[in-house]
Amino acid sequence: MALYRPRGTLARVIYAKFHNDNFLENIDTQQWYSLNCELPQKFQSKFVDLKQPDPTTVQWLERTKMLSSNIWLHLWHALARSVLQFFMTQTDINGLLKRGSMFILSEEQFCRLLEAGGFRTRSLSEPITLLDIGAGDGEVSLRVANSVNELSGNAVLQVFATEASWTMRERLKKLNFNVVTEIRELQNVDLISCLNVLDRCFDPFKLLEDIHAALAPTGRAVIALVLPYMHYVETNTSHLPLRPLLDNSNKRNGRETSFEEEAAMFLELLENCGFRVESWTKAPYLCEGDLRQSFYWLIDLIVVISKKPTN
């Protein structure tokens, strides 16, 4: 029997999406959270095993599958991107079209990681300050803020954000975020989140220095980094950073570095930059889908860190 092959372009796209989504239904999502081997004991003891997608994560995946079924909306997005790409960055386009929302951890998962990392709130009479660096459309920022509210018993929360994209900044303002231009505008911040930004900025080491300077002595920062590490700077012509975070010599020599090896390298780097690793986990970095498939994912290393005490 001859294999069916759709003839029209749109028919081929829909046919391919059907098969891609069937593949997604059968992936082992527990692999998103599990380790293949242990890290050095000083880091392994801080690992928070989330095991599998929780109900909030599953709900988000179901929602993005439903959004992805709107073929005409995705055709409009594809047409708009083909025009806007000549004078806007991809992030600006996503902000304008209100597409491409991300998901990292649910509120419950953020709470587990923060509690394991020793995040403590002060008395309810004092506001808690939260800074999200590179906040995007604010969806992940809201989950972090909700987690802090849960842990603090609904204390007063002041949420600040930085964002390079002008369209995303407008979306953040509509969420009543205090959008700031520079991290150095803030001091003694209780919680700083920097989620999947280090591998997208021009100078990641300068960003780590700014986080260290802005963080309160007893505060915590949450850092997420996609592994395998692949740096890409959207806003310059070379798309290369001033200084890469991790050494890619193994990849250049033809040997793939495992998640666990790169995780150990990055955790060690954070400690060499004046931080102390308090807790960490492995989780998917999920993104809304398009005409090709319902959602996309990368694998994140997510770390809660504190400032090492000065002698």
- The number of residues making up the chain comes to 311
CATH of the domain at 22: 3.40.50.150
Q: How many structural domains is the chain composed of? A: 1
Please check whether residue 284 lies inside any domain of the structure.
Answer: yes
| Numbers of helices and strands, H then E, in the chain | 11, 8
- Flag whether 37 is in a domain: yes
- Give pTM, 2 decimals: 0.88
**SS3 call for 300:** strand
Of the candidates 34, 52, 24, 29, the one whose C-alpha atom is nearest the C-alpha of residue 259 is: 34
pLDDT tens string 209-219 = 999 999 999 99
pLDDT for the residue 1: 46
Question: Using an 8 Å Cβ cutoff, are 285 and 197 in contact?
Answer: no
CB 115 within 8 A of CB 148: no
Residue 61 has pLDDT above 70, yes or no: yes
Q: Is 188 helix (H, G, I), strand (E, B) or coil?
A: coil
Residue 117: predicted pLDDT: 97
Predicted pLDDT of residue 126: 78
- For residues 151-169, average pLDDT: 87
- Give the list of residues 6+ apart from residue 4 with CB closer than 8 angstroms, or none: none
- Could you give the angle at which helices 9-25 and 55-68 cross, rounded to 10 degrees? 170
Instruction: Confirm whether 1 is domain-assigned.
Output: no
Separation between Cα atoms, residue 223 and residue 104, nearest integer Å: 12
Predicted local confidence at residue 70, as pLDDT = 72
Instruction: Find the range with the poorest average confidence among 78-92, 162-176, 274-288.
Output: 78-92
pLDDT digits (tens, 9 = 90+) for 31-42: 999 999 989 999
Under 8 Å between Cβ of 266 and 301 = yes
* 230 occurs within a structural domain: yes
At residue 124, does pLDDT exceed 60? Answer: no
Q: Which domain holds residue 130?
A: 9-307
More confident residue, 79 or 306: 306
Tens digits of residue pLDDT in 260-288: 999 999 999 999 999 999 999 999 999 98
pLDDT tens-digit readout, 3-14 = 545 555 555 666
When comparing pLDDT for 161 and 167, which is higher? 161
Rounded Cα distance, 100 and 295, in Å: 9
Using CA atoms, how far apart are residues 248 and 256, in angstroms rounded to an integer? Answer: 9
- What mean pLDDT comes out for the span 71-97? 75
